[in-house]
Amino acid sequence: MRRNLSHIAAMAFNEPLLLEPAYARVFFCALGKEMGAGSLAVPQQAVQLDADGMQLAVTDYMAGGQRPAKSYQVKNGIAILPVSGTLVHKLGTLRPYSGMTGYDGLTARLQMAVNDPDVRGILLDIDSPGGQAAGAFDCADMIYRLREQKPVWALCNDMACSAAMLLAAACTRRLVTQTAKIGSIGVMMAHTSYEKQLAQEGVDITLIYSGQHKVDGNSIQALPAGVRADFQRRIDEARRMFVDKVALYTGLSSEAVMNTEAAVYDGQAGIDAGLADQLINAADAVEVMVSALNDSVTKENTMTVKNLTVAEAVAQENQRVMGILNCQEAKGREQLAQMLAGQPGMTVEQAKTLLAAAPVAGTDSTGDQIMGLPEAKGREQLAQMLAGQPGMTVEQAKAFLAAAPAAGAAGTGDQIMALPEAKGREQLAQALAEQPGMTVDQAKTLLAAAPVAGSASVGDQIMALPEAKGREQLAQALTEQPGMTVAQAKTLLAAAPAASQPSQETLFDRFMAQHAASAVSGGGTAGRGEEDLLMSMP
């Protein structure tokens, strides 16, 4: 194949190159030899090579066992893309003997691998000292973009310097071998001047141009200081772009990348510098990647199962709550049902049992009418009991209330037993009620000073709650609930409507039996309280 040396020279001279320094010497020795250059100078290293030295540098490099570029292949679901030799912008079919890889060709193969259904991941097998800056950043950005679709790993085998480092940085993960060289995050530029050679040969070339910078960096004149400064600015800007891209791709800070000062790291040192992730044998690279991808799939499946478990738990909780709120037993007991649904661990069956034990809330105003009767004044306790009787009419309640004595007519003993202070001190209250001449105020003082009876069990305390009155069946059910506290039972009882009371006949008979005067037997006399009560009956 015919080589277009003038095209290569145009790309190599007066343009930023991302080349590892040692390879840059070999590259320019090979190119210079083809173009007829007689020497190569490296001022920074105080190196001056003649024609023989240039040939020796090329020969030594080529004798180093450079691998031929691999063809595209897939192994265990991993597409292996070789990236070797000098990296150039547009390779096409141009292949100098020193070997080159085009950014355009690499991008095309990447896109093919991403779209290949047989490919799970992509491995860039890199052995390159770098190359042109032109096209490098676009290629790296494409790798960075495509790695979101499929994993793209880089294997430094055995060199990924400069522009090759830029491509490796854009990959998802970077593997290095023990002898790998990685780094060289910097920019260089070469300028060739034939001014002295032309003068020696008596050749005079005149440049005719328009535009102050049109012939900056031409090869027939020494590089002017102003032009050199401009070139320095350009490569400094290119380095800043290089550093920022590596920082973006790898997660390192720009300062950390800049502080490498374009150093080249060997093997483990590259990992320590944050430029690589894992040290491996090159022969194991594919298996390492396959294993990592399998682990990733396992973790994703585990997370999916966990997410499903959470979703199922939410669905079950929603089903539990709605089961309590919508059950038949909740009808007419909505407030209690809502409180039960809010109790952690309360099952639908438990809630149904408690709801069934609670009375249904009244839907009419008969109870309010009974409590509002004039006859209920002074007889509020009896009126409350009558209001809770199913089927009790206002007229019936009015008759019962009219037949009962007012609270003020009760005996002193009854008033003492009804004192709030008598609660928990019933035995003492009974004894005080039987004391001749004992007044209600005296009994109240004595009861307040007396201790309350010993604490009962939780069940007894629940049954003794004021809220349990009229809700005895529900209170009994709550005492049987494991872990039920008095405070919880009190809240639930308060939320439930009062239960039905005894029948009208039983209630009236009991009331009259309690308040009727004692029969007079031989030698016996009725108490004064009973006599007063008897005389007060209409």
Active site members: 162, 214
Give the C-alpha separation, 303 to 297, whole Å. 10
Distance CA 155, CA 513 (A): 103
Measured between alpha carbons, how far is 338 from 327 in angstroms, rounded to an integer? 12
C-beta of residue 157 within 8 angstroms of C-beta of residue 262: no
C-alpha 371/C-alpha 432 separation (Å) is 32
- Tokens linked to 288: 């390492």
102 touches 92 (CB < 8 A):
yes
* SS3 annotation, 103-149: HHHHHHHHHHHHHCCCCCEEEEEEEEEEEECCCHHHHHHHHHHHCCC
What's the token pair of residue 386? 């009558």
279-285 — which CB contacts under 8 Å span 24+ positions?
Answer: 279/175, 279/176, 279/177, 279/178, 280/175, 280/176, 280/177, 281/177, 281/178, 282/155, 282/157, 282/158, 282/177, 285/123, 285/125, 285/153, 285/155, 285/157, 285/175
How far is 485 from 214, CA to CA, in rounded Å? 94
Residue 245 to residue 258: CA distance in whole angstroms: 11
Helix or strand holding residue 86 (H, E): strand 78-88
> Would you say 471 and 498 are in contact if contact means Cβ atoms under 8 Å apart?
yes
Residue carrying the six token digits 């973790």: 299
Buried/exposed code over 226-264 (b: 16+ C-beta within 10 A; e: otherwise)? ebeeebeeebeebbebbbebbbbbbebeeeebbebebeb
Give the helix ranges, DSSP H, for 467-519: 472-479, 486-495, 504-515
Q: Among candidates 233, 202, 230, 197, which has minimal Cα distance to 216?
A: 230
- The three-state secondary structure class of 291 is helix
Q: Which two tokens stand for residue 269?
A: 């040192």
For residue 225, the surrounding DSSP H or E stretch is helix 225-250
